[in-house]
Amino acid sequence: MRILMIGAGGVGSAAAGIAARREFFESLVVTDYDLARAERVVQALGDERFRAERIDASSAEAVAEAARRHRATHVFNAVDPRFVMPIFDGAISAGSDYLDMAMSLSLPHPDRPYELPGVKLGDEQFAQAGEWEAAGRLALVGIGVEPGLSDVFARYAADHLFAEIDELGTRDGADLVVEGYDFAPSFSIWTTIEECLNPPVVWEKGRGWFTTEPFSEPEVFDFPEGIGPVECVNVEHEEVLLMPRWVDARRVTFKYGLGDEFIGVLKTLHKLGLDRTDKVRVGGAEVSPRDVVAACLPDPATLGDRMTGRTCAGLWVTGHGKDGRPREVYLYHVVDNAWSVREYGAQAVVWQTALFPVVALELLAAGTWRGEGVLGPEAFDARPFLELVNDHGSPWGLEERTPAPG
């Protein structure tokens, strides 16, 4: 396996560090628009299988040229979702397989944004599924932690735990604290704004996909391993667009534990127009307000030594077990920031996100996972994936919960 990785930021650098401990690939080219950043990643690893290169991720032609030149079997997209389509298109043009952790961007419905979806997450990619199938190539989409591991959990629950599923509810929460900052998101603020301020999507059998207002349906969810109760709200996310395609359930949701302060900041950014991605003129320059916000905040990849606490990603599943009785479980993965910094030099959120595409690449290299077309993680056998997660020294968990009466 020869991998072309696009992006040497927090998640990309963490993925390179995780992959460096494995033997499943022949080469991994770390690319970034900022060559110095890619070079720092490679130099820190000291592994001859890695090399650094500059690339323009907004150019499908540049991606295709690099993939051909390095004879890349797989193009691994580790940049934010605005670059999904040029990287996706460049990969198939070069005859490479493709992986990403976030899918092509959505557009709200022009007239009824809080009732009906417009262009949904991943629509542009799924529209090209036939082209990928005809070429005999695989685009494995949404293979981070959320989406990614949560989707693998959905497949595992359907195959091994439940006879009937009422709800697949991705629930994400943390007790992370960043010292020295009044406001310091632990993940890309560009992506966070995109997810949290777009109309959230919900799926129900018989109704299909529909939307609600941002931060709707608040609930308190009790997270395991000492994190405890966190208020979670509806957020737009890929799981809701992926799971119903392969897993039978009555309802699919995604809720994120943001907290009142974080929600307040996002609402203020929206009121001021600072969440906009279209450029505005400031003096003699044209800049995107959202890019300015991102530039003013600390790089999440640099926060590890200032951060304490744990992050939890997981899937809450309700329904009837294989024995026909009501069952409720929470399948989850927790990372303690102190552990990830000590073991890998990466803060917990970016390390957790980076782990699962590396696990998927290893399964693809072995031929354990294989397929053609545009596929989500639900399309593959979950058991070998979860076994390999444990092999990385950061095991997943399953917590039985008492089903609600009635």
- In terms of phi and psi (left: phi > 0; alpha: psi -120 to 50; beta: otherwise), the region of 302 is alpha
State yes or no: cis peptide before 377, omega within 30 of 0. Answer: no
Residue holding tokens 């009837």?
320
- pLDDT tens profile 24-50: 999 999 999 999 999 999 999 999 999
* Helix residue ranges per DSSP H, 113-197: 123-126, 129-135, 149-156, 189-197
Crossing angle (nearest 10°) for helices 10-19 and 35-45: 30
Structure confidence at residue 179 as a pLDDT band (50, 70, 90): confident
Out of 102-111, 129-138, 191-200, 332-341, least confident range: 191-200
Q: What is the pLDDT of residue 186?
A: 65
Q: What is the pLDDT of residue 42?
A: 98
> In the chain, what percentage of residues exceed pLDDT 90?
79
Structure confidence at residue 364 as a pLDDT band (50, 70, 90): very high
Query: 370 vs 300, which has greater pLDDT?
Result: 370
Structure confidence at residue 196 as a pLDDT band (50, 70, 90): confident
Structure confidence at residue 193 as a pLDDT band (50, 70, 90): confident
What's the whole-number mean pLDDT along residues 242-252? 98
- Indicate the helix (H) or strand (E) that contains 65: helix 60-69
Let me know if 371 is exposed, middle or buried by CB neighbors in 10 A (0-12, 13-18, 19+): middle
- pLDDT tens profile 10-22: 999 999 999 999 9
Q: What is the pLDDT of residue 301?
A: 66
The pLDDT mean for the chain works out to 93
Q: What is the pLDDT of residue 266?
A: 81
Answer whether residue 404 shows pLDDT above 90: no
- pLDDT tens profile 48-105: 999 999 999 999 999 999 999 999 999 999 998 999 999 999 999 999 999 999 999 9
The residues pairing with 108 across neighbouring beta strands, listed in sequence order, are none
Give which of 239, 204, 58, 201 is closest to 119, Cα–Cα: 201
Structure confidence at residue 187 as a pLDDT band (50, 70, 90): low
Q: What is the pLDDT of residue 109?
A: 96
Let me know if 264 is exposed, middle or buried by CB neighbors in 10 A (0-12, 13-18, 19+): exposed
- Between CA 162 and CA 166 the distance in angstroms is 10
What's the whole-number mean pLDDT along residues 331-335? 98
> In the chain, what percentage of residues exceed pLDDT 70?
98
- pLDDT tens profile 257-310: 887 777 788 888 888 888 888 888 888 888 888 888 888 777 776 766 777 999
- Indicate the helix (H) or strand (E) that contains 220: strand 219-223
- For residues 385, 388, 390, 394, the Cα torsion angle rounded to the nearest 10 degrees is -90
Q: What is the pLDDT of residue 295?
A: 83
- Between CA 132 and CA 148 the distance in angstroms is 20
Instruction: State the distance between the two ends of the chain, measured CA to CA, in whole angstroms.
Output: 51
Q: What is the pLDDT of residue 61?
A: 98
- Between CA 92 and CA 96 the distance in angstroms is 6
Strand 138-140 versus strand 97-100 pairing type: parallel
| Ordered structural domains, the chain, with CATH | 2-100 (3.40.50.720), 149-349+394-401 (3.30.360.10)
Q: What is the pLDDT of residue 244?
A: 98
| Residue 106 near residue 121 (C-beta atoms within 8 A) | yes
Answer whether residue 139 shows pLDDT above 80: yes
- pLDDT tens profile 206-228: 999 999 998 899 999 999 999 99
